[in-house]
Amino acid sequence: MIDLSKLLPRLVRANPELAAKLAWSRAAGEGLRHNAVPVSLVGKTLTVSVADTLWRKQLESMAGELLFRINNLLGGTRVDNITFRISPADLPPVDSARIEPPAQTKPSAPPTELLFAAGAIADEELRARFLRAANNLIARREANTR
């Protein structure tokens, strides 16, 4: 399998917008990928669509780290700014097959702040461990309050 991060610097010359969008996808990670979608690159400004003001506010606070990751993947300063716009229509549809019906023994969904924190963890295994530990803690707290 070809490592995308090694091809991105070459792709920049041929199609800078596509390269920036692919770099966003890689830099944002799985947690953000479905909730923030890159839509255009104009000059050195990448525009990313998000669902609502909460997502925009949280991602704006992470913009510096995301810019660093994107430019690192692209092999230089190719993106100077990220603009977040509220446009839920640009986001991929929710896969209803992946949604499980709520169960009384199942803990509630993790808080948004937790998902943002997890999205900032580049290492996939470490991110998965972080989310499992947080979910276990939430489940224990909910069990103790019943």
38 within 8 A of 92, measured Cβ to Cβ: no
Residues 134 and 88 occupy one common structural domain: no
Does the structure show a pLDDT above 70 at 108?
no
| Domain-ending residue, one of 80, 96, 112 | 96
Residues 90 and 107 occupy one common structural domain: no
Report the pLDDT value the prediction gives residue 146, as an integer from 0 to 100: 66
Residues 92 and 55 occupy one common structural domain: yes
Report the pLDDT value the prediction gives residue 49, as an integer from 0 to 100: 95
| Domain-ending residue, one of 57, 72, 96 | 96
Residues 65 and 82 occupy one common structural domain: yes
Residues 110 and 68 occupy one common structural domain: no
Residues 38 and 21 occupy one common structural domain: yes
User: Could you tell me which residues come within 8 angstroms of residue 116 by beta carbon, excluding any fewer than 6 positions away?
Assistant: 31, 32, 58, 59, 62
Query: What CATH number corresponds to the domain at position 72?
Result: 3.30.300.180
Report the pLDDT value the prediction gives residue 105, as an integer from 0 to 100: 47
The count of domains in the chain is: 2
Cα–Cα distance, 2 to 106 (Å, whole number): 39
What's the start-to-end Cα distance of the chain, in Å? 48
> 28-78, pLDDT tens digit by residue?
888 787 889 999 999 999 999 998 999 999 999 999 999 999 999 888 888
Residues 141 and 86 occupy one common structural domain: no
Taking residues 100-119, report their average pLDDT: 60
Residues 60 and 75 occupy one common structural domain: yes
Residues 23 and 88 occupy one common structural domain: yes
Nearest Cα neighbor of 38 from 54, 96, 98, 27 is 27
User: In this structure, are strands 45-50 and 81-86 parallel, antiparallel, or unpaired?
Assistant: parallel
Q: Which residues pair with 36 in a beta bridge?
A: 50
Residues 76 and 5 occupy one common structural domain: yes
The most confident of the ranges 75-79, 106-110, 132-136 is 75-79
Residues of the domain holding 119: 100-146
% of the chain exceeding 70 in pLDDT: 78
Residues 85 and 117 occupy one common structural domain: no
Residues 106 and 145 occupy one common structural domain: yes
> 72-99, pLDDT tens digit by residue?
988 888 899 999 999 988 888 865 444 4
Point out the least confidently predicted range of 7-11, 33-37, 103-107: 103-107
